[in-house]
């Protein structure tokens, strides 16, 4: 716990840290072990590029009408949200590879379902952390140029990155800090994860999710996170939610990944923690994200939504409230 002045997730060395036990991602030795294990394993073949189910996006140009709210899954953690007349995008990633150089690193298995040039005028960009599958420098530069009016909400320390790439309007938030941007109330939410972009910068910038609210609707973009005991607190402070965008993929092998990403069972447990705080509220729609787009980890690419659906049914939830979107699919919420 903190000393009462410094929050527990602010380390004494200027780096951020997770305030829960067993939250430090493994070091180089374990990365090596994973690499060697992977080499020995019979690899589940990836689906062919572009072979997964798609839908025609149905967002509105240039803006939606008051009182209507939709979400469009562009792929991975990139979601275009139209909340009344506001256009919001989360973790805009449009590059071919989620890596500093385009000739190595995890390759895309599905193209972005919306072309970066086809986006409506963006008002708010929500950025969760510095990992390459969430923070895409070429996309940031292009959006900064083509959507100069957009305000970017980023966790502590990440403002300097996007500013250097041309973004002008930036709010940096700590966990539990809020800002009102163009009528949208946004709160940075805690997550059990880490950040790294290049050698030596591990945990120098914070990682987070976002709760947001406008038009009488509340959404929660969970970001990247392992399971932690604070989902109920997020719900109590910022809920009840109408839409929860929950990561379900990138979890195997568990011995390595359990400190950084929820598996589908934990994702549904986290959702359960959220709704437990508001038992009388209607069941939120849960959009399953962070799967199917880049091969990051060992589980079969189509396993996350199947396992999420099984866990969902086991909990007795209405099957229509779990949204396993096709790439590009738009749904009202």
**Sites of contact with Zn ion (CB under 5 A):** 131, 133, 224
H or E element, residue 233: helix 231-238
In DSSP terms, which residues pair with 226 in a beta bridge? 192
Closest distance to Zn ion from the beta carbon of 41 (Å): 22
Closest distance to Zn ion from the beta carbon of 194 (Å): 7
Which is it for strands 285-289 and 322-323: parallel, antiparallel or unpaired?
A: parallel
Closest distance to Zn ion from the beta carbon of 102 (Å): 18
For Zn ion, the closer of residues 214 and 222 by Cβ is: 222
CA dihedral over 149, 150, 151, 152, signed as positive or negative: negative
Distance CA 167, CA 149 (A): 9
Closest distance to Zn ion from the beta carbon of 294 (Å): 8
In DSSP terms, which residues pair with 205 in a beta bridge? none
For Zn ion, the closer of residues 98 and 181 by Cβ is: 98
Distance CA 141, CA 125 (A): 13
Closest distance to Zn ion from the beta carbon of 225 (Å): 9
For Zn ion, the closer of residues 133 and 172 by Cβ is: 133
Residues ≥6 apart with Cβ < 8 Å to 36: none
For Zn ion, the closer of residues 131 and 218 by Cβ is: 131
For Zn ion, the closer of residues 224 and 230 by Cβ is: 224
Closest distance to Zn ion from the beta carbon of 6 (Å): 24
For Zn ion, the closer of residues 131 and 197 by Cβ is: 131
Which is it for strands 330-332 and 209-214: parallel, antiparallel or unpaired?
A: unpaired
Q: Which of 319, 255, 267, 321 is nearest to 291 (CA)?
A: 267
For Zn ion, the closer of residues 123 and 224 by Cβ is: 224
Closest distance to Zn ion from the beta carbon of 5 (Å): 29
For Zn ion, the closer of residues 10 and 290 by Cβ is: 290
DSSP secondary structure, 70-108, as one string: EEEEEETTEEEEEETTEEEEES---SSBSSSSTTSSPBB
- Please check whether residue 212 is in contact with residue 189, taking contact to mean a CB–CB distance below 8 angstroms: no
Looking up tokens 């959507």 gives: 147
In the numeric block, which tokens belong to residue 5?
A: 């002045």
- Please check whether residue 331 is in contact with residue 285, taking contact to mean a CB–CB distance below 8 angstroms: yes
Closest distance to Zn ion from the beta carbon of 36 (Å): 23
Distance CA 30, CA 258 (A): 13
Peptide bond into 240 cis (omega under 30): yes
């Amino acid at each position: 716990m903190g000393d009462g002045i410094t929050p527990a997730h602010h380390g004494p060395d200027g780096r951020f840290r997770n305030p829960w036990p067993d939250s430090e991602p493994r070091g180089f030795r374990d990365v090596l072990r994973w690499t060697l294990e992977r080499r020995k394993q019979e690899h589940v073949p990836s689906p062919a590029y572009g072979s997964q189910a798609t839908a025609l996006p149905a967002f509105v140009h240039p803006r939606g009408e008051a009182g209507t709210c939709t979400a469009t899954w562009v792929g991975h953690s990139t979601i275009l949200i139209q909340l009344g007349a506001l256009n919001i995008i989360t973790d805009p990633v449009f590059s071919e590879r989620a890596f500093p150089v385009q000739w190595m690193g995890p390759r895309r298995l599905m193209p972005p379902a919306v072309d970066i040039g086809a986006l409506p005028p963006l008002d708010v960009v929500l950025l969760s952390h510095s990992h390459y599958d969430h923070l895409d420098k070429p996309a940031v530069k292009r959006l900064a140029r083509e959507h100069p009016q957009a305000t970017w909400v980023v966790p502590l320390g990440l403002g300097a990155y996007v500013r250097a790439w041309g973004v002008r309007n930036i709010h940096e938030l700590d966990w539990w800090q809020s800002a009102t941007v163009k009528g949208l109330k946004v709160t940075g939410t805690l997550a059990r994860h880490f950040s790294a972009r290049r050698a030596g910068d591990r945990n120098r910038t914070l990682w987070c999710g976002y709760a947001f609210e406008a038009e009488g609707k509340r959404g929660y973009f969970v970001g990247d996170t392992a399971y932690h005991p604070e989902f109920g607190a997020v719900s109590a402070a910022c809920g009840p939610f109408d839409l929860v965008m929950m990561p379900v993929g990138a979890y195997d092998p568990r011995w390595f990944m359990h400190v950084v990403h929820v598996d589908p069972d934990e994702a549904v447990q986290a959702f359960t923690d959220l709704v437990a705080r508001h038992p009388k509220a209607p069941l939120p729609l849960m959009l399953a994200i962070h799967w199917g787009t880049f091969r990051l980890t060992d589980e079969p690419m189509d396993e996350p939504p199947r396992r999420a659906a099984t866990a969902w049914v086991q909990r007795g939830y209405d099957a229509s409230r779990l949204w396993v979107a096709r790439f590009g699919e738009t749904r009202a919420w």
